[in-house]
Amino acid sequence: MSHLSTTFRVAAPPDVVFDLIADPARGPEWQTMISEMGEISGRPGGVGSSYVGYYRMAGRRIEGRFVVTAAERPNLHQAAGTTRGGWARWTTLIEPLDGGSEVTVHLEYELPGEILGSLFGMLTGSRLDQEFRRTYENLRELVEAEVGRRAGPWAGGGRGGRSSRAGTGTRGRPAVAGKTAGDDRDPNETGRATAPGAPGDSDTADDEGGPAPFAAEPASTTVS
């Protein structure tokens, strides 16, 4: 049996991270070795739900059948699967940390005998480790980009957040002394109010983007 693990931080709440990991239909968006999904049954993230994924390994298309064996939203997701002559078990732990999440992943696996030799020639050691790292870097970027598209306290935070450049208004216009973001009044005029609903009043300061809950840190990965 072989083992890979990684721990990394995400500027997103645990429930958002869990929901993306637990949805097998979105696997090809972030898992680097999966090429497409097959049949998906049951509620995403529910114990007993299942899915079929097709992986590209050493030039071969490998079918994996997975079943969710443990799930406690938003902190735990585990799926176990089999291929012809091999198996894998993914365990993901998600904990709140500093306004975001810390994610720990353990992958235990045995490779199918039919590809053992060729796969070891291409993906063993640092190459397989790189694919594992890249998969979870993709996940982090996808989660943070998704959070950045939502209005609310998470918008603008983290690596995937969108924020306006300093010194610009809410629509990217240069800020003018005496004006606030979204205020088109002349600072030298007094007594002139902008009518409710007038252009400029619909923008909010959320576009300015506050500081990230924490600075993104490189994922740490161990291989055994």
Mean pLDDT of the chain: 74
- More confident position, 155 or 109: 109
Higher per-residue pLDDT: 128 or 113 = 128
Q: Check whether 197 has a pLDDT greater than 60.
A: no
pTM of the shown model: 0.66
List Cα–Cα distances, 174 to 58, 179, 207, in angstroms.
53, 10, 14
The pLDDT of residue 127: 72
* CB-CB contact of 120 with 134 (8 Å): no
pLDDT at 107: 93
Mean pLDDT computed over 35-63: 91
**At 96, is the secondary structure helix, strand, or coil?**
strand
Res 146: pLDDT: 92
Residue 129 one-letter amino acid? D
Q: What is the pLDDT of residues 130-167, one digit of tens each?
A: 889 999 999 999 999 999 988 455 444 444 333 333 33
What mean pLDDT is predicted for residues 165-172? 38
**pLDDT-based confidence at residue 11 (cuts at 50, 70, 90):** very high
Q: What is the SS3 string spanning the chain?
A: CEEEEEEEEECCCHHHHHHHHHCHHHHHHCCCCEEEEEEEECCCCCCCCEEEEEEEECCEEEEEEEEEEEEECCCEEEEEEEECCEEEEEEEEEEEECCEEEEEEEEEEECCHHHHHHHHHHCCCHHHHHHHHHHHHHHHHHHHHHHHCCCCCCCCCCCCCCCCCCCECCCCCECCCCCCCCCCCCCCCCCCCCCCCCCCCCCCHHHHCCCCCCCCCCCEEEEC
Residue 42 has pLDDT above 80, yes or no: yes
Query: pLDDT confidence of 111, banded at 50, 70, 90?
Result: confident
Question: Which pair of structure tokens corresponds to residue 91?
Answer: 């365990």
Q: Name the more confident of 113 and 74.
A: 74
Q: 19-23, 88-92, 132-136, 184-188: lowest mean pLDDT where?
A: 184-188
How far apart are the C-alpha atoms of 39 and 67, rounded to whole Å? 12
Give pLDDT, residue 131.
Answer: 87
Tell me which DSSP letter residue 115 carries. Answer: G
> Which structure tokens are listed for 23?
């949805």
For residue 20 the two structure tokens come to 């993306």
Position 150 scores a pLDDT of: 80
Binned at pLDDT 50, 70 and 90, residue 90 comes out as very high
